[in-house]
């Protein structure tokens, strides 16, 4: 496994792989790798001949007061995980390599970035889409791999790729969960032991929402109220949003039909946790 922090070098290596006819897979990450990331790396290794993992805590996607400074950076551990899972190249630039001058150019997806996490994190998705564009232009992957846990991110990136005719495939892999249902996240380590034991209530609430819809519920307000009540069993958990949205437009649905994305964000201690389930109502 090779490791580089420079754009010149990663470009040389991926150009060689491309010239050798290899299919290149990119797993863009902010490091602090966990089993969710490993599932993306494994998917990339299964579908591609040459796997690139980027480790870059992207300042442009953090807002003021967010956890950019505290975000975990267990660099050696991340490299070891990559080494154990068949990664060919790790790209780990420092911020000045990615943003050597004031960044004036932004890739922005309108509309679908307004709801859900876009509400409380203005500028976040603009930072994500801009850094992904940069990484795609640097690596030229044939496919890039994202997790369904960040459902809005995956939908926004798919739309960006389609709108801008980016020549790559976006692969979205299922959310990986702990045994008790908690979605795996780098930010789970911000939780105290007590909080960690209570955190699975988010997924329990989502499952309750799924059951209601599969049992015929059509009123999103009723489902939302129920989800909020389940989460409310952990009083210290502050709900940021519980939303039932169209999985393409990400707009709140007025009546449940077709497939609905139920998405939740909560603040819990020092952590902000998000999770979601896609539910097929079975009704047109």
Sites of contact with its own copies (CB under 8 A) = 7, 11, 101-112, 129-130, 133-134, 137-138, 140, 159-160, 162-167
Minimum CB–partner distance for residue 131 and its own copies (Å): 10
Q: Which is nearer to its own copies, 37 or 134 (CB)?
A: 134
In sequence order, the 6+-apart residues with CB closer than 8 A to the CB of 155 are 112, 247, 248, 250
Q: Which is nearer to its own copies, 33 or 109 (CB)?
A: 109
Token pair 């005719």: residue: 165
Residue 85: active-site member: no
Which tokens go with 236? 């210290």
Minimum CB–partner distance for residue 72 and its own copies (Å): 26
Interatomic CA distance for residues 100 and 104, integer angstroms: 11
Minimum CB–partner distance for residue 77 and its own copies (Å): 28
Minimum CB–partner distance for residue 135 and its own copies (Å): 8
| CA proximity to 186, closest of 261, 85, 77 | 77
CA distances from 101 to 97, 218, 224 (A): 9, 51, 45
List the catalytic residue out of 34, 37, 108, 124: 37
Q: Which is nearer to its own copies, 32 or 160 (CB)?
A: 160
Say if CB 123 and CB 3 are below 8 A apart.
no
Question: Residue 219 is inside which H or E element, if any?
Answer: none
Q: What positions carry a catalytic annotation?
A: 37
């Amino acid at each position: 496994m090779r490791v580089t922090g420079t754009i010149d070098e990663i470009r040389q290596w991926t150009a060689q792989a491309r010239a050798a006819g290899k299919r290149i897979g990119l797993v863009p990450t902010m490091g602090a790798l966990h089993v969710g990331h490993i599932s993306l790396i494994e998917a990339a290794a299964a579908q591609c001949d040459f796997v690139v993992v980027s480790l870059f805590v992207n300042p442009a996607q953090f807002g003021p007061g967010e956890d950019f400074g505290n975000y975990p950076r267990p660099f050696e551990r991340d490299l070891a995980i990559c080494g154990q899972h068949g990664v060919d190249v790790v790209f780990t630039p420092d911020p000045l390599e990615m943003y050597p001058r004031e960044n004036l150019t932004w890739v922005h997806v309108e509309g679908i970035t307004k709801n859900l996490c876009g509400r409380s994190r203005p500028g976040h998705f603009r930072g994500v889409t801009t850094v992904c564009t940069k990484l795609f232009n640097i690596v030229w992957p044939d496919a890039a791999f994202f997790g369904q846990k960040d459902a809005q991110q995956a939908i926004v990136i798919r739309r960006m790729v389609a709108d801008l005719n980016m020549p790559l495939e976006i692969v979205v892999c299922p959310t990986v969960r702990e045994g008790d249902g908690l979605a795996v996240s780098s930010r789970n380590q911000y939780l105290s032991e007590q909080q960690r034991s209570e955190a699975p209530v988010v997924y329990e609430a989502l499952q309750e929402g799924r059951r209601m819809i599969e049992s015929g519920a059509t009123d999103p307000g009723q489902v939302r109220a129920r989800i909020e009540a389940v989460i409310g069993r952990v009083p210290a958990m502050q709900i940021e949003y519980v939303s039932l949205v169209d999985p393409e437009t990400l707009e709140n649905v007025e009546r449940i039909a077709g497939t609905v994305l139920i998405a939740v964000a909560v603040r819990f201690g020092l952590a902000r946790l998000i999770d979601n389930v896609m539910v097929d109502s079975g009704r047109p």
